[in-house]
Chain A
Amino acid sequence: MSHSLLTRIWMFYRDGFREMTLGRTLWAIILIKLFIMFFILKLFFFPSFLSGKTTEEKQQYVGEELVERANP
């Protein structure tokens, strides 16, 4: 039963994708956009600023920054 349900869900999506018209263009846009976002922007332009630090180092760093920036 669960097998046939899974198969039916699979066929539902498969047929849906097959019968798409405008949807194809839209999927292309979604995929290109996600590619640009994750493989170009995130990777090369948006590294996490605190990455590479351990939790203690992050606490230390932000703690120091927050004190330092208040000093005249």
Chain B
Amino acid sequence: MRGMYAVFKRELKAYLFSPIAYVVMTIFLVISGYIFYSNLAIFSIISFQAIQQPQFASGLNVSEGVVRPLFGDMGIILVFMAPLLTMRLFAEERKSGTMELLLTFPLRDMEIILGKFFAALVIYLLMVAATAVYPILLLVFGEPELGPLIAGYLGLILMGAAFLALGTWASSLTENQIVAAVIAFGMLLLFWIIGWATSLAPPLLRQILPHVSIIEHYGNFSKGVIATHDLLYYLLFIGFFLFANQIGLESRKWRGRV
């Protein structure tokens, strides 16, 4: 634990002293801000019309009209941004050779992996916290339902953590940060779209694939539903990639290719 905390602190400092975290955060906030603004603008126009023509007003609410699309879009931006946050974690150490010293310190492999993963997670949480401005604006000027907001954030955080776990694993596969980012991006995209092909798949896969898809589980959260199997999916996803990372590390040690 002590070792993990030390690795975590060092990683976190490395993030704060390098531009990548700031660039990713800025882009994420700018794009999600723009999406929030345009959704809100469209929503107000529709609401305004609804005042004049009350038959349209039924079924119109902020959660459906603004909050859900916002979470949906933030999820998509995240597919692009998470790999950029994690690509450095192992690839850089492998390239510069510092991995050799790190692995001879009295640390368990998992302490190293978790330390790095949590550092990326904290940066991500900061980024997510900054997006809280949008719902706060909604709370000040309107009355959005709290349920979908809270569930949406829980979903966003869990899905982000899953992306980061996958990205951290991808970073341990190569010495090249770009390659690490591309692998992570490709895998995330695959997990995102995997549910699309279900209609063509054989019956067994047709049942399984939707549950593997990352977006499927995310959708429930932004509807305001917190279901055990969605929680479990993300926790298993995170656990799987952290564990895969450890196995990979161990096997590269045996082969002497760290």
Please determine whether chains A and B interact with each other in the same assembly: no
